[in-house]
Structure 1
Amino acid sequence: MWAGRAQASLRVWALWPARVPGRRLLSCNTASQTRSNAPRCWNCGGAGPGGPRRGDVFFCPHCRVLQPPDPTRDYFSLMDCTRSFKVDTMKLQQRYQQLQRLVHPDFFSQRSQTEKEFSEKHATLVNEAYKTLLAPLSRGLYLVS
């Protein structure tokens, strides 16, 4: 009985959110899952090995609500780029589009006010990161700051 329920939930979570094409969770790597000081989810309070990690995932793995953006995360890690002056602009554009499909406020119009606000903050941060890293001058200034 338990194995069948676990398999069914894995199928459901793997497809979430299936109602919006192109949206999927960004998962954290194994090394970051062992952190004990992980922040708690604002909605369900989930933490620990399965709890949300700011900077690694955007959604709580327990209740699947959008988490607040990590203000300490740099633009290079957000956009999945190496921290250097030379940036693959095609990869940067693809990552920008991927993140906007994930956190754009249009996808959160029927959600709670908190999630709407977090979505706006995430989208703003993604826009700022993209614009900064796309232009060579602003990228260079960001690198030296």
Structure 2
Amino acid sequence: MSNRKLLISSLNLLRRRSRPISTLPTNRTPKSDPPIILDHSSRQSAHSRVPKKPIHGSKLDCAVFGRDFSSTSSGLGNCWSCGAIAASKPFLFCDICRSVQPFDQSVDYFQIFGLERAFAIDDTGMESKYKDWQKKLHPDLVHTKSEKEKEYAAEQSARVIDAYRTLRSPLLRAIYLMQLEGARVDEEQTVSDPELLAEIMEIREAVEEAANPPALQQIQFQVKGSLDHWSKSFENAFKKRKFEEAITSIQRMTYYSRINEEIMRKL
């Protein structure tokens, strides 16, 4: 129970720290949450493979996440626990001593899943990668470790969960990309477009009056078409670094995304 509270606390802290510019929509249903994957077999190896002395001079298949240790000449650093030299990012977990690494603000959500920083992503391997991370980072798997490593695990696990949710959603992914560019995003700002507002009102009325699932699905098809249109509009504007146009697209994506969520709740 204490590990779960620590994980929830870290997730809330992470959201406040990683999204200082904009508040993301919170209309998510419980069934959209990614699963938590545990691999209890890793508990034994976590103890049996920890070297008692730092490992020096070896190049390891892991990267740095250091907050409280010095960097190597490569700028990546070492494992805080065994001293293994980091080779690449992201370094959330040391495969040599099986220690969860500290939070590194310089690593973004795309790096966590090995994706290019772009709006159009190939998410076919994301779920598998997410499960792999949780098998290494979940707080329940370090319940016998130090308090410091428990905190690392709670924070890293929460970060992976938030990264997974963000990148899987076109709207949240668009907002996150703009934040990485330092652009101010207010997706809650009311759009002063009479035609758009009238269309949104008509769609919402149609959703309320829909008598059966097929009727809702027909409306959803229309909504997804509009959402896809504005997603492509955002992608084009973002590539050309026309950030004002990109933000306009995000604001319209927000309207259609919320209607789609309303439909999903009724289906």
The TM-score with structure 1 as length reference comes to: 0.66
Residue 68 of structure 1: how far off its partner (Å): 0.4
Q: Which sits farther off after the overlay, 133-142 or 61-70?
A: 61-70
SS class of match (2:42) = coil
1:81–1:53: structure 2 CA closer, same or farther, 3 Å change rule? same
Amino acid of the residue matched to residue 130 of structure 2? Answer: Y
| AA partner of residue 143 (structure 1) | L
- Encode CA deviations 1:97-128: one digit per residue, 9 max, x unaligned: 11111111111111111111100010011011
Counterpart of 2:174 in structure 1 is 140
In structure 2, distance between residues paired with 1:84 and 1:108: 34
Question: Secondary structure at the residue paired with 1:90?
Answer: coil
Report the CA distance between 1:88 and its aligned residue. 2.4
Residue of 98, 114, 118 corresponding to 2:132: 98
Matches within 5 A, 1:1-145: 19-20=41-42, 27-28=61-62, 35-44=73-82, 46=83, 50-52=84-86, 55-60=89-94, 63-145=97-179
Q: Is the 8 A contact 2:79 2:86 kept in 1?
A: yes
- Separation in 2, partners of 1:123, 1:89: 19
Q: What is the Cα-based RMSD across aligned positions, in Å?
A: 3.2
Q: What is the CA distance between 1:27 and its match in structure 2?
A: 2.3
Counting matched residue pairs gives: 118
Q: Which runs of 5+ in 2 are unaligned?
A: 1-39, 46-59, 64-71, 180-267
Q: Which runs of 5+ in 1 are unaligned?
A: 1-17
Tell me the SS of whatever aligns to 2:153.
Answer: helix
Question: Percent sequence identity over matched residues?
Answer: 34
SS of the equivalent of 1:141 reads helix
Rg larger in structure: 2
TM-score by length of 2: 0.38
Sort the Cα spacing of 1:86 and 1:36 in 2 relative to 1 into closer, same or farther, 3 A.
closer
